[in-house]
C-alpha cells in the first residue's frame, strides 16, 4: 500500500500549490490513499465548506487536523454533515463530548486503514488526554478489524514528545508523521520494528514567510511585542512538503520519502 500525506495546507497559496503538484505526485508515486492536514486551509485558521470541497475535488481522500480546526464557528456545522464528517478527523485526545471523530477506519480497495489524529500536550494551551495510553486503547478496540495499516498524525509543538510517541508506537503503527510546526525536520526513517517516522513533515504554503504568513508583521512583533494581524498572501512562491510511505502486507513500512516541491502561484 502506498500513502501520500500533505503537511499543513496554509491558506489559498497552499491550496493552489497542492493542486498544482498533486497530479505530478500521483504520476510519480501512484498512491493508493492521500491524506492532508486541513487545520489551516481557510486563511490559515480553520476550514470552510468551500476550502474542503476544493481539496476533495483536487483528490484528497481524508483530512487530519489540530488545534486550529475550531477557529471558525462553521466547523460545528461541517462536522455534523455526514458528507464531510466521514472525511475529517479531529485530535482523538480531546474530550469524548467534542464534536467529530478522533480516528477513522477507512476502506482502501479491499483493505482497512486506521487513521488516528493526536494533539501534543507539551507547550499546548489545550487540556487534552494523554495520547500514549489512548493510542493503546484505540489500537485494542480496532484489533478485530485487523487493519492493513495504522497511520498517526501527531500534531504537536515539542520534538521530544513526538519522538517519544514514535518509539512508543514502533512496530504497532505503520507510520507516525508529525505536524504543527510548519518546519520540516527531515529526520525521516523507518524505526527498528517497522514504523515509518518523521518529527514534522512541514507545510504547504508561502515559502518566504514565517511558517506560512507574511514575514514583515511577524518580525515587527518580535521587535516590539505589539499585537499584529497575520497576513497570508494569496500568490507568490510556495513550498509543498509531503511524505510518501510504502507499507507491506504485514503493516510494516518498507519505504519513507520526504518530498519538497516549489511552485509559483
The angle at the Cα of 179, spanning 178 to 181, to the nearest 5 degrees, equals 120
Indicate if 230 belongs to the active site: no
- Would you name the residues annotated as active-site residues? 68
Amino acid at each position: 500500500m502506498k500513502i501520500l500525506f500533505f503537511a499543513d495546507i496554509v491558506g489559498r497559496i497552499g491550496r493552489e500549490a497542492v493542486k498544482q503538484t498533486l497530479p505530478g505526485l500521483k504520476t510519480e508515486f501512484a498512491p493508493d490513499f492521500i491524506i492532508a492536514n486541513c487545520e489551516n486551509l481557510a486563511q490559515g485558521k480553520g476550514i470552510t465548506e468551500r476550502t474542503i470541497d476544493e481539496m476533495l475535488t483536487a483528490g484528497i481522500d481524508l483530512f487530519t487536523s489540530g488545534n486550529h480546526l475550531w477557529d471558525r464557528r462553521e466547523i460545528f456545522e461541517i462536522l455534523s454533515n455526514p458528507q464531510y464528517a466521514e472525511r475529517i478527523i479531529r485530535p482523538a485526545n480531546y474530550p469524548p463530548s467534542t464534536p467529530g471523530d478522533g480516528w477513522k477506519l477507512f476502506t482502501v480497495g479491499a483493505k482497512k486503514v486506521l487513521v488516528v489524529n493526536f494533539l501534543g500536550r507539551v507547550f499546548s494551551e489545550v487540556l487534552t488526554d494523554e495520547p500514549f495510553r489512548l493510542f493503546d486503547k484505540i489500537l485494542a478496540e480496532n484489533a478485530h478489524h485487523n487493519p492493513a495499516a495504522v497511520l498517526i498524525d501527531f500534531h504537536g509543538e515539542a520534538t521530544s514528545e513526538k519522538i517519544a510517541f514514535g518509539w512508543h508506537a514502533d512496530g504497532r503503527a505503520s507510520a507516525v508523521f508529525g505536524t504543527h510546526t510548519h518546519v520540516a525536520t527531515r529526520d525521516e526513517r523507518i524505526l527498528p520494528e517497522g514504523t515509518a517516522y518523521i518529527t514534522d513533515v512541514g507545510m504547504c504554503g508561502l515559502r518566504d514567510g514565517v511558517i506560512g504568513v507574511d514575514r514583515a508583521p511577524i518580525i515587527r512583533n518580535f521587535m516590539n511585542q505589539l499585537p499584529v494581524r497575520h497576513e497570508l498572501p494569496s500568490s507568490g512562491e510556495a513550498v509543498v512538503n509531503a511524505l510518501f510511505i510504502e507499507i507491506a502486507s504485514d503493516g510494516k513500512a518498507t519505504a519513507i520519502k520526504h518530498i519538497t516541491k516549489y511552485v509559483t502561484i
